[in-house]
Structure formats: C-alpha cells, structure tokens
Amino acid sequence: MGFLMLIYAFLVFHFLFMIWKWVDRKRDQECYILDYECYKPSDDRMVDTEFSGDVIKRNKALGLIEYKFLLKAIVSSGIGEQTYAPRIMFDGREENPTLQDGIIEMEEFFQDSIQKLLTRSGISAQEIDVLVVNVSMLSAVPSLSAMIVNHYKMRDDIKVFNLTGMGCSASLISVNIVQSIFKSYKNKYALVVTSESLSPNWYSGNDRSMILSNCLFRTGGCAVLLTNNRALNHKPMLKLKCLVRTHHGAKDDSYNCCIQTEDEQGRQGFHLGKSLPKSATRALVDNLRVIAPKILPISELIRFMVVSLVRKLSTISSSTKGGSNSPRPVINFRTGVDHFCLHTGGKAVIDGLGMSLELCEYDLEPARMTLHRFGNTSASSLWYVLGYMEAKKRMKKGDRVLMISFGAGFKCNSCLWEVVRDDMGDGPNVWKDSIDCYPPKTLANPFMQKYGWINDEDPSTFVMR
C-alpha cells in the first residue's frame, strides 16, 4: 500500500513538475520592447509649402491637369509643413539619384537612432543577438544589415535578417521574426531597424497613379530594442500578446494595387491603383477575423454572434415580406483594446480604419497627428504614432495597444501590446519639441491659399508662376 502511495505521489509530482516546466518555458518565450527611438532629421530638411512648390516646378513632365491633381491630393492629404525629405531633394538632384544617395540616407538614420537607443538603454552593440532590418525599396551589397554590423562592430555569431520589398507593414513582420526566434532561445536581445529609402525612389513622370506617392511619403525610421530576458521584467515598456499576419498576394488585384513599376516613358515609380481601397478592406476584414478572438473578451464575441444571428433571421423574414435589411453588426474592439496605433498611409486610410472599427476622433488622433507632423514614413509610421500616445501620457500599466498596418503584396498585419510600466511618457521622445502644439486647431495646410489659382487657369494660356 505504501509503495502504491509513493508511485501515486511520484506521478502527481511529476505531472506538477511538467506543468511548472511548461509554464517556466513559456515565460522565457515572451517578447518585450525595452525601448525604441524614432528618427528626427535636422530642421534644414523640413518640407514646407514653398519648398514643395519648388520641387513640383522642377518636374518638366507636368502639365495643368497634373498640377490640379497634385493640388487636390496635397490639400486633402492631411500632411503639414514640418515633414522631412532626403538631402537629395534639397540639392535638386531627385531626377538623377545614385545608389550612394540611398546609402547615405540610411547611414544618417542608423548612426543617429541606433546609437541613441543603445546609449539610453545601456545595452552595447556587442550584446545584440538578433538584428532585423527592413527597408523595402533599397537593396545594397553588402546588405544594409551588414552595414550596421560593420559600423557597430557586432558579434560574428549575430543572427541577421535583411528584408526588402515588404512595404509599409514590414516592421510587424520584423517583430514576428524576433518573436519566433525568442521561442527557441533564452535571454536574448534583438534590434529591429525599420525605415524607407526615398532618395532613389522619387517619381519624376506624370502618371497620376505614381506621382501620388510623392505627396505622401516622407523621411523617417525607428530602431526598436526587444528582449525575452525575464530578469528584466521591471524594465520593458510593452509586452507582445499576439500578432497576426494576412497576405493576399494570391489575388491578382491585391498583388497589383500597390507595386513598384515603370511608366510608359520608362520612369520608375510606385503605382497606387484604384483597387487599393477594396484590397485593403478585404485584407483588414480577414486579419480582424483572426485576431479578434485572441484579444476580445468572450462576452463581446457572444454578443456579436447573437446580434449577427438575429440580423440573419430578420433579413430572411424581411426578404419574404419585402422589407429592408437591418444594420450590419460590428464588433466593438474597445472592449479589449485601450489604444489604437494605426498606419498613417494617408487621410483616406485613417478615415477608412475609423469607419471599419467604429472609432472616435480620440482614437484616431494619434494617427492623424503623426501624418500631419511626419507624413507617411512607411513601416516606421506605427512607432511615431506610439510615440505620440506616449508623449501625451495616454498609456498606463495594463493598457492594451492594437497596431494595424498595411503593405504592398498586399498585406495587413496587426498585433496587440500590453503596457507593463506606469512611467510611459517620462523619457526622451521624438515628439518632445512639438507635442504641446498638438492637436492644432486646424489641420488645413496653406497649399490651396498659395496655389489655388491653378484651378481657374485656361490650359491654352497656362504658365506656371
């Protein structure tokens, strides 16, 4: 009898030990953000109305029709007069870029933001175990990641990933790579570097689907330091709860709606097609369908299912009687999310996300202000939005932050972070010098006031002033 009791006790303790071991291993697989640093170029690279007009005038391929289109696009873009452009624009060489122009643009960002991040965190470059770099429209040899390894003299056993062509959603792809590595290795530091090279990618033609990108994209970047070292659980800012990636590259209209290509004259540019809104909506719906059960309380999911069932039954009933359909049910994401960090792809993108998620202006404010202050900085834009919320001291311990981004391919990626510190907003921030001015009384820019006369011009007598 005693022997059997010992066996039973052993089995029970073994079972409990295996559970503890599984829980302990899961704790080592967590993904935390220790710190991040958004890039802020020098003030001499600021793009105001007058400079924008000068750049547009330099493009001799434009006519009155294109000028009117550009004026409408810029006025409605949501972009202000304090965004930044690469140095090549101020040298007047945007139509004849070199590979070195793109590399220099990236070097300025790497040497500024990565150095600030490492210095502030107290982590040396030699302690970094994983490096993930995403710059979609610049492929150099050696790679940009190799450039960082060389500059900071990182270890020879560092795991390096260099992503190109992934578009504006690439920073969450980079985080996903780090998350996957953290599941297999304990106590590691990872550095995610996300930006876009604009110097070699200015479009100098007159195809309206391609000159639109000139109005939206601006210089920016972000370096993010992550870890799964649980001994540092008092230091991290955010903890990754879940991440979902949706890829619609198999659909031809989605694949072609956002693509780097050449116009009829052979000028290279970035085409934004008419099917883009439809493709983005479709990708968003599929992405939210997967992430919603992971981040929302069961009560909200049950409520949504019941309302959907009632609507379906009422639709069937009304169709037999000739009545109208009831309103489409919408999931209330605020039941599981406190803050929304949305991709600043443009005013229309932010408005569309607001409508799809039924968000209020308070929820959309960080994305709108980021678009106005920094423009669309591609994959790094999410971190400027996060910086705005941090500078405004909106976040407190326990809050949940939903990030949503879109990218060429076509992709929609999202993730949920949990705030793990109460002092978010106390440290250095890219918004520090301008946060008190936001939100401004109006987001209207002076382009219409300065160039509105173009709308009254006669094509036969038009001369650009």
Q: What does the DSSP assignment read for 153-175?
A: T--TT-EEEEE-S-GGGHHHHHH
234 is catalytic: no
d(CA 341, CA 405): 9
248 is catalytic: no
Beta strand pairing status for 83-84 and 46-47? Answer: antiparallel
Do residues 62 and 265 make contact, with C-beta atoms less than 8 angstroms apart?
Answer: no
Contacts of 224 (CB under 8 A, 6+ apart): 33, 35, 36, 117, 171, 175, 191, 192, 193, 194, 383
d(CA 396, CA 359): 20
d(CA 336, CA 211): 39
Q: Which of 162, 343, 413, 445 is catalytic?
A: 343
Which residue from 375, 363, 351, 339 is spatially nearest to 221, judged by alpha carbons?
Answer: 375
d(CA 465, CA 463): 6
E-only strand ranges, 90-184: 130-135, 159-163
214 is catalytic: no
Q: Which of 176, 214, 287, 376 is catalytic?
A: 376
Do residues 211 and 205 make contact, with C-beta atoms less than 8 angstroms apart?
Answer: yes
Q: Which of 59, 222, 372, 413 is catalytic?
A: 372
**Cβ neighbours, 10 Å, residue 222:** 26
Beta strand pairing status for 411-419 and 32-38? Answer: unpaired
247 is catalytic: yes
d(CA 376, CA 212): 12
Distances in Å between the Cα of 241 and the Cα atoms of 4, 130, 216, 269, 403 are: 43, 20, 31, 37, 12
Which residue from 114, 170, 164, 112 is spatially nearest to 140, judged by alpha carbons?
Answer: 164
151 is catalytic: no
Q: Which of 38, 168, 257, 258 is catalytic?
A: 168
Which residue type occupies 257? C
DSSP code, position 450:
H
Contacts of 108 (CB under 8 A, 6+ apart): 41
Q: Which of 206, 287, 339, 415 is catalytic?
A: 339
Do residues 117 and 223 make contact, with C-beta atoms less than 8 angstroms apart?
Answer: yes
Catalytic residues: 168, 247, 339, 343, 372, 376
